[in-house]
Amino acid sequence: MNIAVTGINFVRQAEVAGRLRRLLSADAVLHAEEDTRSYECDGLSAYRQLPMVVALPSNEEEVQQVLRTCHELKVPVVARGAGTGLSGGALPMGDGVLLSLAKMRRILALDPVARTARVQPGVTNLAISEAAAPCGLFYAPDPSSQIACSIGGNVAENSGGVHCLKYGLTLHNVLRVRAVTVEAEVVEFGSEALDSPGLDLLALMIGSEGMLAVATEITVKLLPKPETACVILASFDDVEKAGNAVADVVAAGVVPSGLEMMDRPAARAVEEFVHAGYDLEAAALLLCEADGTPEEVEEGIAGMTEVLRRAGATAIRASNSEAERQKFWAGRKAAFPAVGRISPDYYCMDGTIPRKKLGEILNFIAAMEKKYGLRCPNVFHAGDGNLHPLILFDANDPDQLERTERFAGEVLEKCVEVGGTITGEHGVGVEKINQMCVQFAAAEIERFQGVKRAFDSEGLLNPGKNIPTLQRCAEFGRMRVRGGQLPRPELPRF
């Protein structure tokens, strides 16, 4: 992917920063490079760009003021939460304002009876569950970055997590988003009731990658914490068998609260790092969890054990205590950092496929490892077919980065080919914008642009992310017929 770095126009910078300083306190508007540097990328650090100006509003009124000013001056705005996103959705613009919601991190209300929390966008995902814990409640979506990622960012990306198989994505757990439009108007999508009149704009807003409006307040649903949970660790001597076992578990009639898979290279990396007690001889490991009342869990675990045994598991262990359950999960949750230890860099993919295609896609990935000469351990949210293959590379070697991106591109296109999607939960951002042209036809991309126009007719909110221009797709199409030779080799690559 080639994204050119934009130089800063200092005259424009002084104008925009000056205008914003009249509205926000002096320390809430940054433009000096030493201050703006830390905003140059999100979790996808291969892409970097200094923002022209950073604005840090502390309340909704200030968000309105920033947007009103930017709208008037025709300055693009990129909203940012905690900056943990993995697709470059919060990559700043050299001619734009980076709007950080980090200062808006108050839990405004927590209603244990109605089981809702009203929070500002900068509140971290985990902070909501922590605040709800004394009431026996929790906020269900649990992306692996939950200690750091903000709820505003979760709304922008429609984040999932290991428990979304049973509890759903952000979309299923948010009741209401209050937001400011690019024209600085406050709007409410959804409500504290279960539905709202008119079109379901809340569904559009969630996962819109900051391109429709800027969220300032979010009401989330809280669920009663399950009384207990138990996880099975099952070993398989063949990856495809493990894949089929996943389908069997799902078809058997119990929805597990988590159903994860890891191949041997991933399990080995993890075991060295956290000593979770994983079977390192297995070709693939499944983690299969049941939660609920003690009766439900007992029934669920018995049923799943039987299904896994029939599916050919070579070893099955059920956690016999909460500590052991946590230990089993610790390995899965540490998969990314563990892989980070065995390679200078890794590139995390996020395709989703129909579960039955798991074997096919794993064979494809193995072939790609050979083709590009790069290793690729695999971790999956297997229950919902969401893959996170991790390509290992060294970013200091431009050739490796190039091969990595082509490797990833081919895998994502394979996901589309088998009936899946290029992104299950990390978003398109800048990272997968070319693959959007593979997944969608021109008319569909035009309708997406129409949705964008309906909210933001001048295209000032996070332009260039999520939805490609047709021109870009045409160029990408040409790139592909030329056998992967990128046009304009003089442009910098990241």
Partner 1 sequence: MESVVRDWSQKIRASAASKHPFRLRGGGSKDFYGQTLEGEVFDTRAYAGIVAYEPSELVITACCGAKLTEIESAMSEHRQMLAFEPPHFAQFGSGATLGGMIAAGLSGPRRQAAGALRDFVLGVKIMDGRGEVLAFGGRVMKNVAGYDVSRLMAGALGTLGIILEVSLKALPLPAAEATLRLELPEDKAIETLNKWGGRPLPISASAWTGGELGVRLSGAAAAVAAAQKKIGGELLEPEQGERFWTGIREQTDPFFRNGAPLWRISLPPTAPPLKLPGEPLIEWGGALRWLCSRADARTVRDAAKRAGGHATLFRGGDKSVGVFQPLAPALMKIHKELKREFDPQGIFNRGRMYPEL
Residues 170-189 that bind partner 1 (CB under 8 A): 171-172, 181, 185-188
The alpha helices in 104-162, defined as continuous H runs, are 125-132, 151-157
How many residues touch partner 1 under the rule CB under 8 A: the total is 96
Among positions 24-83, residues that touch partner 1 (CB under 8 A) are none
Q: Smallest distance from the beta carbon of 149 to partner 1, in angstroms?
A: 15
What whole-number distance in Å separates Cα of residue 172 and Cα of residue 194?
Answer: 11
Candidates 68, 225, 472, 493; binder of partner 1 (CB under 8 A) is: 225
Binding range to partner 1, per CB under 8 A, among 73-81, 95-103, 133-141, 322-330: 133-141
Binding range to partner 1, per CB under 8 A, among 66-74, 76-84, 152-160, 260-268: 152-160
Q: Smallest distance from the beta carbon of 444 to partner 1, in angstroms?
A: 5
Other Cβ atoms closer than 10 A to 448: 15
The helix-helix angle for 264-274 and 322-333 (nearest 10°) equals 120
Q: Smallest distance from the beta carbon of 195 to partner 1, in angstroms?
A: 5
3-state secondary structure the chain: CCCCCCCCCHHHHHHHHHHHHCCCCHHHEECCHHHHHHHCCCCCCCCCCCCCEEECCCCHHHHHHHHHHHHHHCCCEEEECCCCCCCCCCCCCCCCEEEECCCCCCEEEEECCCCEEEECCCCEHHHHHHHHHHHCEECCCCCCCCCCCEHHHHHHHCCCCCCHHHHCCHHHHEEEEEEECCCCCEEEEECCCCCCCCCCHHHHHCCCCCCCCEEEEEEEECEECCCEEEEEEEEECCHHHHHHHHHHHHHCCCCCCEEEEEEHHHHHHHHHHHCCCCCCCCCEEEEEEEEECHHHHHHHHHHHHHHHHHCCCCEEEECCCHHHHHHHHHHHHCHHHHHHHHCCEEEECCCECCHHHHHHHHHHHHHHHHHHCCCCCEEEEHHHCEEEEEEEECCCCHHHHHHHHHHHHHHHHHHHHCCCECCCCCCCCCCCHHHHHHHCCHHHHHHHHHHHHHHCCCCCECCCCCCCCHHHHHHHHHHHHCCCCCCCCCCCCC
Closer to partner 1 by CB, 232 or 374: give it.
232
Among positions 308-367, residues that touch partner 1 (CB under 8 A) are 352-356
Among positions 475-494, residues that touch partner 1 (CB under 8 A) are none
Candidates 42, 142, 157, 279; binder of partner 1 (CB under 8 A) is: 157
Candidates 113, 483, 488, 490; binder of partner 1 (CB under 8 A) is: 113
Among positions 423-462, residues that touch partner 1 (CB under 8 A) are 423-428, 432, 436, 439-441, 443-445, 447-448, 450-455, 457
Tell me if 298 contacts partner 1 by CB under 8 A. Answer: yes
Candidates 51, 92, 152, 160; binder of partner 1 (CB under 8 A) is: 160
Q: Smallest distance from the beta carbon of 193 to partner 1, in angstroms?
A: 4
Closer to partner 1 by CB, 112 or 487: give it.
112
Binding range to partner 1, per CB under 8 A, among 4-12, 66-74, 91-99, 242-250: 242-250
Candidates 137, 335, 374, 376; binder of partner 1 (CB under 8 A) is: 137
Candidates 292, 312, 340, 459; binder of partner 1 (CB under 8 A) is: 292
Binding range to partner 1, per CB under 8 A, among 232-240, 253-261, 270-278, 337-345: 253-261
Candidates 11, 26, 32, 194; binder of partner 1 (CB under 8 A) is: 194
Tell me if 133 contacts partner 1 by CB under 8 A. Answer: no
Closer to partner 1 by CB, 8 or 247: give it.
247
Tell me if 295 contacts partner 1 by CB under 8 A. Answer: yes
Q: Is 110 helix (H, G, I), strand (E, B) or coil?
A: strand
End-to-end Cα spacing for the chain: 7
* The one-letter amino acid at 164: C
Tell me if 8 contacts partner 1 by CB under 8 A. Answer: no
**Across 11-125, where does the E strand assignment appear?**
29-30, 53-55, 77-80, 97-100, 107-111, 116-119
Candidates 95, 384, 405, 431; binder of partner 1 (CB under 8 A) is: 384
Closer to partner 1 by CB, 36 or 208: give it.
208
Candidates 201, 379, 408, 437; binder of partner 1 (CB under 8 A) is: 201
Candidates 36, 49, 64, 208; binder of partner 1 (CB under 8 A) is: 208
Closer to partner 1 by CB, 31 or 465: give it.
465
Closer to partner 1 by CB, 172 or 268: give it.
172
Candidates 15, 296, 410, 413; binder of partner 1 (CB under 8 A) is: 296
Q: Smallest distance from the beta carbon of 29 to partner 1, in angstroms?
A: 27
Tell me if 220 contacts partner 1 by CB under 8 A. Answer: no
> Which H or E run includes 83?
none
Q: Smallest distance from the beta carbon of 424 to partner 1, in angstroms?
A: 4
